[in-house]
Amino acid sequence: MHIGVIDPICPQPYEFDTSAETGLGGTEATALRVFGQLASSFEITFFQNNRTEQSFNSGIHSRPLSELKDHAPLDRLITIGSWEFSLQARQLFPNVPIVLWLHNYANRHNRSMGNALREANIKLVCVSKTHMNATKRLLETRSSCLPRLSYIYNAIDDALLPNNTPRCKNRLLFASSPNKGLLQVLEKFDAISPMLPELQLEVANPGYLQFEPNELPPNVIFLGSLSQPKLIEKMRTSLCLFCPQTTFAETFGLVIAEANAVGTPVICQASFGANDEIVSSVNQAIDTANLETLVERIQQLQKSKCMTSARPEFRLENVARHWDALLLDG
């Protein structure tokens, strides 16, 4: 079976070599991980925005997006992120089963997509139960009927496991794009620093959005864009992944799942986005607006040898099994 995967919105082309050398966003990293795994069972051709050359890497054929219209036959199509492009794909491939793989929360400008996807017979796959329920609630405000709606979790590498790497009790790590609440995280860190003066906050940036603050709180270190192996090593050596923000709700939160998988706890906001669904234990999602609670949690982690583990449903083997079933179902 020949599967066409379309990323019509990626800012730059990407493949496995990209992931090894530079930082990647969660969507791109997950796409490579999932379809690399499925390449052992399916023929995968990946059509990407801004790609100018063909390549073949780890079982995946990568092609410029412009080649999609001339590429046949394809047995299934998966479009990443864009419901409008899914509808264009339906015009090109009227009889091919199509899945829209949505990674972001739909907003009020997307409410009409429910009817459009239903009429075009396009399935909608979200990345968590929280994400699916939020999408369903929004579409119900405008749609008379909904598309077939489900969710499949994003995948973490099966090889991500705790080891004996010592964690620095005074090192916190923020490892997301700056638009995902970084300003608020810096404010929180600055507010608690007088109570925990030895703390350091290291900030890793996937690199697709630049951030140049006018002034930084003391003890904040910008790491720039890290390759996946270097980011995982930073997670292992940090006291925790530090995400006390309420400005960007995650649909999944890949860095949260990855940090937990290598044994590193997370501090994130409770009842916000998919945080409660993704953390592997409930005490990692707390009321981060309460500075006393935030400080107490950091002190608890400093005194303990708290180790986390991965949720098994996020493991690549299990996630790939769900995609396999979805694609065979048509």
Q: What is the pLDDT of residue 22?
A: 58
Residue with tokens 């992944």: 241
Q: Are strands 55-57 and 60-64 parallel, antiparallel or unpaired?
A: antiparallel
122-146 in b/e burial notation, b at 16+ Cβ within 10 A? Answer: bbbbbbbebbbebbbebbeeebeee
Strand 200-204: give its sheet, edge to edge: 220-224, 200-204, 168-175, 238-243, 266-269, 285-286
Q: What is the pLDDT of residue 88?
A: 96
Q: What is the pLDDT of residue 17?
A: 73
| Residue 273: closest CA among 256, 295, 258 | 256
How far is the C-alpha of 303 from the C-alpha of 322, rounded, in Å? 40
Q: List, for residues 12-38, the tens digit of each pLDDT value.
A: 899 887 655 456 778 998 999 999 999
pLDDT band per the 50, 70, 90 thresholds, residue 275 = very high
Q: What is the pLDDT of residue 309?
A: 92
pLDDT at 229 > cutoff 60: yes
Task: State mean pLDDT over 199-221.
Answer: 83
Task: State mean pLDDT over 139-157.
Answer: 91
How far is the C-alpha of 14 from the C-alpha of 10, rounded, in Å? 9
Secondary structure (H, E, C), 73-99 = CCCEEEEECCHHHHHHHHHHCCCCCEE
pLDDT at 232 > cutoff 80: yes
Q: What is the pLDDT of residue 18?
A: 64
How far is the C-alpha of 49 from the C-alpha of 64, rounded, in Å? 7
Q: What is the pLDDT of residue 330?
A: 72
Could you tell me the CA-to-CA distances from 139 to 63, 102, 125, 274 in Å, in that order?
33, 13, 14, 19
Residue with tokens 């929004």: 138
How far is the C-alpha of 217 from the C-alpha of 221, rounded, in Å? 10
Provide the whole-model pTM.
0.93
How far is the C-alpha of 293 from the C-alpha of 301, rounded, in Å? 12
The answer to whether the beta carbons of residues 98 and 90 sit under 8 Å apart is yes
Strand partners, 77: 4, 98
Q: List, for residues 91-145, the tens digit of each pLDDT value.
A: 999 999 999 999 999 888 887 899 999 999 999 999 999 999 999 999 998 877 8
Q: List, for residues 67-89, the tens digit of each pLDDT value.
A: 999 887 899 999 999 999 999 99
Could you tell me the CA-to-CA distances from 294 to 248, 288, 289, 298 in Å, in that order?
19, 6, 8, 6
Mean pLDDT over all residues of the chain?
A: 93
Q: What is the pLDDT of residue 225?
A: 87
Q: What is the pLDDT of residue 236?
A: 97
Q: What is the pLDDT of residue 121?
A: 97
* Percent with pLDDT over 90 in the chain: 81
Report the helix count and the strand count for the chain, using DSSP H and E.
11, 14
Task: State mean pLDDT over 176-196.
Answer: 95
Quote the tokens at residue 103: 């990674």
- Give me Rg for the CA atoms of the chain: 20
How far is the C-alpha of 71 from the C-alpha of 63, rounded, in Å? 10
